[in-house]
Amino acid sequence: MNYSRVSVPPGDKITMGSDGRLHVPTHPIIPFIEGDGTGPDIWKAAVRVFDAAVAKAYAGSRKISWMEVFAGEKSFNMFKENMGDQAWLPEETVEAYREFLVGIKGPLTTPIGGGIRSLNVALRQLLDLYVCLRPVRYFQGVPSPVKKPQDVDMVIFRENTEDIYAGIEWMHGTPECDKFKKFLLEEMKVTKIRFPDSVSLGVKPISQEGSQRLVRAAIQYALDHKRRSVTLVHKGNIMKFTEGAFKDWGYGVAIAEFRDLTVTERESWIIGNQDRHPGLSAEENARQIEPGYDMMTTGQRRNAVEEVETALRLMPTHGSGQWKKLLLIRDAIADITLQQVLTRAKEFDVIATMNLEGDFLSDALAAQVGGIGIAPGANINYLTGHAIFEATHGTAPKYANLDKVNPGSLILSGVMMLEHLGWQEAADMIVASIDRTISQKKVTYDFERLMEGATLVSCSGFADALIGNM
């Protein structure tokens, strides 16, 4: 594409091979948006860290060619006279991320009102970045509100394109809302709208295709990174045909596509019972996994026994303790999960969930390990290779240009980007440097005020300390 507002630097494109793997040149062109508010400060700090790690890890044989593209407040101020509201997210910016596959961005301002949707959500949807990947881990010494933050080591796969975040909703009193309400009340005979005269309405789309590709990516990630389990988090006990279907479709992917590599939690109970008691009948096994078995109807008992019989067919490949070496697939209700990630953090590893629950869980877990100031994030399409790595916090405009805030979120997102490129040596160097720097108590104001004996450094000073500790 010929760009009129973007300068393409010397370098080469990252491409997606027919083998489904990224082909990364030694001098890849990577688009970036510095972001609004504190964005320029954290970008200037982060890019120095990235460049230093790459230079040192590969002795100068590799180098990223950074290409600035524009979105948000900076873009609007630059291009509003010619582009109007389209200046918030120019088409050239979307095309640059589409053409060069992998990019990174700081926090963006989204204008309130006027019908302009979230710029972050827009990028995810326009590029079909269906996975929001949020690893959450603890760095020793970081202030935390919980007693054992070191127990938190989770990776969240949040579905990024569906759920109520799709933005299919209508305001009370509009013709569109009235039309949809009439359809629900008169055509669908819906009787559960509590206050129909004053209701706004929205739609919650959860698809089989969208659910399956998310869970497939989560399972593959767990296998590739030798993780212990994948937990499908949902509210299917209430929303049976959306969130409940997500759970069922997720299990379906595990069983149909990863049968020899996975075991479901209920299968592990059944096979474990049989391992301990080889003579156990299917009915006795069903009674052990279903505490209310004796109160069930005849049909329910039959279903429980059939479930046991199906699981026992796995004995040649999963029995005799073989299942303990496989990836465990389980599910958990969302509200219980929010409690148990606090009280039983070690029981969770990779989490796959829908958009809303993923949003809640990501930030709640980030708080346990020090806050979103050091929480990285990525938006990825594993099928096309497109990925945008981003700071997960807001723009914090009152701290703009003060060289004050913690650049950790964007730096760790860059670590994820380097890992995505296969440049693990540079990624590991940054992580080790962060560990070392925090252990030395050289931290920005958000941590310094909570750490006894800490040395306060600026945003750029934190980058200096990281580079010095490589």
- Contact between 51 and 417 under an 8 Å Cβ cutoff? The reply is no
Catalytic residue among 153, 275, 335, 428: 335
**Could you confirm whether 399 is annotated as catalytic?**
no
Look up 335 and say whether it is catalytic: yes
The contacts of residue 426 (CB under 8 Å, 6+ apart) are 50, 53, 54, 56, 57, 58, 418
Q: Which of 97, 130, 165, 251 is catalytic?
A: 165
* From 128, 359, 363, 446, the catalytic residue: 359
Quote the CA–CA distance of 285 and 10 in Å, as a whole number: 65
- 217 bridge partner residues: none
Tell me the C-alpha distance between 272 and 306, whole Å: 17
| Cα four-point dihedral sign 271, 336, 392, 161 | positive
Question: Could you say which of 235, 247, 404, 442 is catalytic?
Answer: 235
- Taking the C-alpha atoms of residue 94 and residue 6, their distance in angstroms, rounded to an integer, is 12
**Distance from C-alpha of 233 to C-alpha of 422, rounded to nearest angstrom:** 29
CA distance 181 to 162: 22
Please name the residue that has the structure tokens 């990925």: 387
The answer to whether residue 165 is catalytic is yes
Give CA–CA dist 308/291, Å, rounded: 14
Q: Which residues are catalytic?
A: 165, 235, 335, 359
